[in-house]
Amino acid sequence: MSRYPTHNKKLTEWVEKVVKLCQPDDVVWVDGSPEQKEKLEKEAVTAGELIPLNTEKLPGCFLHRTNPNDVARTEHLTFICTRKKHDAGPNNNWMSPRAAYKKAREIFKGSMKGRTMYVIPFSMGPVGSEFSKIGVELTDSRYVVLNMLIMTRAGSSVLEMLNKDWDFTKCLHSLADLDVNRRLILHFPEDNTIWSVGSGYGGNVLLGKKCLSLRIASFIARKEKWFAEHMLIMGIEEPNGRIRYIAAAFPSACGKTNLAMVLPPEGLKKKGYRIWTVGDDIAWMRIDSDGSLWAINPETGFFGVAPGTNSHTNPNMVETIKKNTIYTNVLLKPDGTVWWEQADGEIPARGIDWQGRPWKPGMVDGNGNVILGANPNSRFTTPIMQCPSASYRLEQHHGVPISAIVFGGRRQHLAPLVYEAFDWQHGIFVGSTMASERTAAQYGKQGEVRRDPMAMLPFCGYNMAMYFRHWLDMGKKMKSAPRIFHVNWFRMDEHGKFLWPGYRENLRILEWIVDRCDNEVDAENTPIGYIPRPDDIDLTGLSLPAQTLEKLFHIDKKSWSEELEGINRFFKQFKKDLPQELWQEYESLKERIRGGK
C-alpha cells in the first residue's frame, strides 16, 4: 500500500514537489467525510480562524474575518501567464510563465512551515459527467478547505476518478504572510495550473471558482468549443408547467445571486410562476446533440454578497443561510448571530465589526466617514441544496437547455430597463460592449464605468478578441441559438434614485423575455434593439408612474453617441484581432442612431 490514497502518479509526484517547496509540517488528504469536516472546524475554532455562531439560531455556522488588506479579488495582482503575451490579450495582466513561476516560487518557499497542507480533490460539475472538470487544490488554509467543501464536490469520490487517470488542474495556494506586496494570483493555462499566494479571500483562493471555472475553463472551452461564463442559470416555470431556462451575465455585485432565486412579485396577472435556481455565478454551456445550448453550474454553493440581503430583497437566501454557512467579514452580534447593512430586523445597538473592533451604529472614523459593521464585500458561503428554489436538475449530467442569454450591468444612465438584440451577431456586439459601474467586489475606484464584456473582463483566460470570435463562431454551430437580451436594473433619476424597484419586480421583465422566446409577444423596433411595447410588461400591483416607465425606456441619442465613442476606443485596442463583424455592428448602430429610426 502506498502512503498516498491514490495511484495517480502525476498527482503524488506533484504533491511531493510542493511539499519540498512549501515545507508544511504535515499533509492531510481531504476525503469529504462529515467527521473530517468536524475535526477541521474544531481545529479552526481553536486556532481562532473561525468563530462558532449561536448553535440554536445559526446551527453549523461560523464567522471568519480576513486580513483588512484582503477583502476582495485583487485584479491588479492577477495574471495570465501564457508563453506569448499576445495570447493573454490587452485586457489581462501578463507575465511570462518562467518569470511568474520564479517570482512566486520565492514566496512559496517554506511558506507552509508550521502549518498543515491539505490536498483537496474536487470536481467542478457532477462527479463523472463528461462536462465536468477535476481540480486538486493544495492549500495551507483550513478556511479554504471548509469553503471548498461547500462550493465544490470534494473528497474521495473525486479521488476515484483520478485513479482512473482523469486529468486535473493543479491548483496551489498558500496564505504565506498575507503581505499585499507578496500576493500573486497566477494562471498558467498552457500548463493547466494555478498558483495563488499571499491572500485568504474568496475568488483569490477558492481556486475552483474564478481561477479554474472561468479563467482556465474559458481557455479550455475555446479549444473544446463550449462556453465557460460568469452567468447565473435559472428556470422560469410558467403556470402551465413549461420551464424556460435562461443564463445571465452581470458583473460582480450586479445582481446575479438575487435574480437566480427571485420570488414572483405580488400582483402579476398570470399567477403560479415558479423559479428554479441552477446557479448564481458560473455557467458552463455546450451545444448538445439537439443543436441547442445546454448549461451546467459547476459549483455546489453560493459565495454571496451579504450587505443588502434581507427578507424583502431575497427571502430565499435568508432561508438558505440559516445553517451550515460560513460568514466572512460581517458584524458579530452579542447573541452570537450576525448582521450587515440592510439586514433584517433592528440595527444592533452594539457588536464587533468586521475588523474585530467594538462597534456602535453611527460611529465615524477620523475623516468623518461612517464606520460600517460589515465590509461592503462581506459574503457567506452556503450550500445550494439548502435554497428553497434549488433546481431538481442540479445533479443531472446534461444540465438544462438555455432559451435566452441576458447581459446586464449597472448603468445609472443610458441603458434601458430591457432590450433584445436583433440577432445573434448583434447580441454578441451587445455583450462585447457591456459596461458597468465598479462595485466593492474588486479593488479600484467605486462607481467608475468600465467596459466589462460579457461580465468576463476579469475572468477571461485569453485574448478577449479571440473570445469574441469564439462567441460569433458558436452561434453558427447552433440549430436554435438562444435569443439575446440586455437588462439594466440600476437606471437612476436626476436625484440619484433607482427608477426601477428591482429584485422580485424583475420577474416582470423576465416574463417579457420568456414570451419573446416563445414568440408570444411583439416588440418595438429602436436603433439599439427591440424594446417592449408599454402594455406588454405586466405592471399590475406595482405603482410605477407612466413617466417613470418612459424614463426607464428612454433612448437618449446624445448619450448613445458618446457611448459609441467609448466603444470605438475599447474596440481599437484589439487592433486587427477584433472580428470584423463587430465593427460592422458598430457601424450599423452608428447609422441607426444618426438616422433616427
Contacts 24+ apart (CB under 8 A), 491-496: 491/411, 491/412, 491/413, 491/414, 491/415, 491/416, 491/417, 491/551, 491/552, 492/412, 492/413, 493/548, 493/551, 496/412
Residue 262 CB, shortest distance to ligand GTP, in Å, is 9
Binding window for ligand GTP (CB under 6 A); candidates: 252-260, 323-331, 427-435, 478-486: 252-260
Q: Which of 463, 459, 379, 466 is nearest to 185 (CA)?
A: 459
Among 210, 451, 470, 516, binds ligand SPV (CB under 6 A): 210
Q: How far is the CB of 411 from Mn ion (least distance, A)?
A: 18
Q: Does 409 bind ligand SPV (CB under 6 A)?
A: no
Structure-block grid coordinates of residue 567: 466603444
Span interacting with ligand SPV, options 77-85, 89-97, 201-209, 500-508, rule CB under 6 A: 201-209
User: Which residues are within 8 A (CB) of 501 and not within 5 positions of it... i.e. 6 or more apart?
Assistant: 542, 544
Of the pair 406, 552, the CB lying nearest ligand SPV is at 406
Cβ-closest position to ligand SPV: 203
Q: What are phi and psi of 206, to 5 degrees?
A: -85, 85
Measure the N-to-C terminal CA separation of the chain; round to a whole number of Å: 75
Q: Which residue do the cell numbers 448549461 mark?
A: 295
Please tell me the distance from the alpha carbon of residue 167 to that of residue 136, in angstroms, as a whole number: 10
Q: Which residue has the cell 467596459?
A: 451
Beta pairing, strands 283-287 & 227-229: antiparallel
Pairing label, strands 153-154, 116-124: antiparallel
Which three-class secondary structure state does DSSP give residue 436?
A: strand
Classify residue 575 by burial, with Cβ atoms within 10 Å: 0-12, 13-18, 19+. Answer: exposed
Contact string 429-458 vs ligand SPV (x = CB under 6 A): ------------x-----------------
Question: Considering the rule CB under 6 A, would residue 202 count as an interface residue with ligand GTP?
Answer: no
Q: Is 255 in the site for ligand GTP (CB under 6 A)?
A: yes
Q: Given the complex with ligand GTP, which of 28 and 544 has the nearer CB atom?
A: 544
Confirm or reject binding of residue 382 to ligand GTP (CB under 6 A). Answer: no
209 makes contact with ligand SPV (CB under 6 A):
yes
Interatomic CA distance for residues 141 and 12, integer angstroms: 20
Among 64, 65, 73, 244, binds ligand SPV (CB under 6 A): 73
Out of 281, 299, 353, 563, the only residue in the binding site for Mn ion (CB under 5 A) is 281
The answer to whether the beta carbons of residues 266 and 541 sit under 8 Å apart is yes
Catalytic residue among 211, 254, 387, 517: 254
Residue 328: CB minimum distance to ligand SPV, A: 10
73 binds, among ligand SPV, Mn ion, ligand GTP, none (CB under 5 to 8 A by kind): ligand SPV
Residues 274-313 vs ligand SPV: string with x where CB under 6 A?
-------x---------------------x----------
CB of 251 to ligand GTP, least distance (A): 7
Say if residue 564 is exposed, middle or buried (CB neighbours under 10 Å; 0-12, 13-18, 19+): middle
User: Which residues from 388-447 bind ligand GTP, rule CB under 6 A?
Assistant: 441
Nearer to ligand SPV, 209 or 504 (CB): 209
Q: Kindly state the DSSP code that residue 211 receives in the 8-state scheme.
A: I
* Number of residues binding to ligand SPV, judged by CB under 6 A: 9
C-alpha cell at 175: 496564505
Instruction: Write the secondary structure of 34-60 as one string of H (helix), E (strand) and C (coil).
Output: HHHHHHHHHHHHHCCCCEECCCCCCCC
**What residues from 242 to 271 belong to the interface with ligand SPV (CB under 6 A)?**
252
Cα 280 to Cα 65, 303, 360, 517: the distances in Å are: 24, 9, 33, 22
Q: Does 306 engage in binding with ligand GTP (CB under 6 A)?
A: no
Give least dist CB 223 to ligand SPV, A. Answer: 24
503 contacts ligand GTP (rule: CB under 6 A) = yes
Region from 154-162, 202-210, 314-322, 380-388 binding ligand SPV, contact rule CB under 6 A: 202-210
Which of Mn ion, ligand SPV, ligand GTP, none interacts with 489 (beta carbon under 5 to 8 A by kind)? ligand GTP
Residue with cell 483550513: 142
Binding mask 308-337 for ligand GTP (x = CB under 6 A): x----x------------------------
User: How many whole angstroms separate alpha carbon 211 and alpha carbon 193?
Assistant: 10
254 is catalytic: yes
Bridge-based pairing state of the strands 51-52 and 301-305 = unpaired
The minimum distance between CB 302 and ligand SPV, in angstroms, equals 9
Please tell me the distance from the alpha carbon of residue 180 to that of residue 443, in angstroms, as a whole number.
Answer: 12
Instruction: By CB under 5 A, name the binding residues for Mn ion.
Output: 252, 281
Instruction: By CB under 6 A, name the binding residues for ligand SPV.
Output: 73, 202-203, 209-210, 252, 281, 303, 441
Instruction: By CB under 6 A, name the binding residues for ligand GTP.
Output: 250, 252-258, 280-281, 304-305, 307-308, 313, 441, 489-490, 498, 502-503, 506
**Active-site amino acid positions:** 254
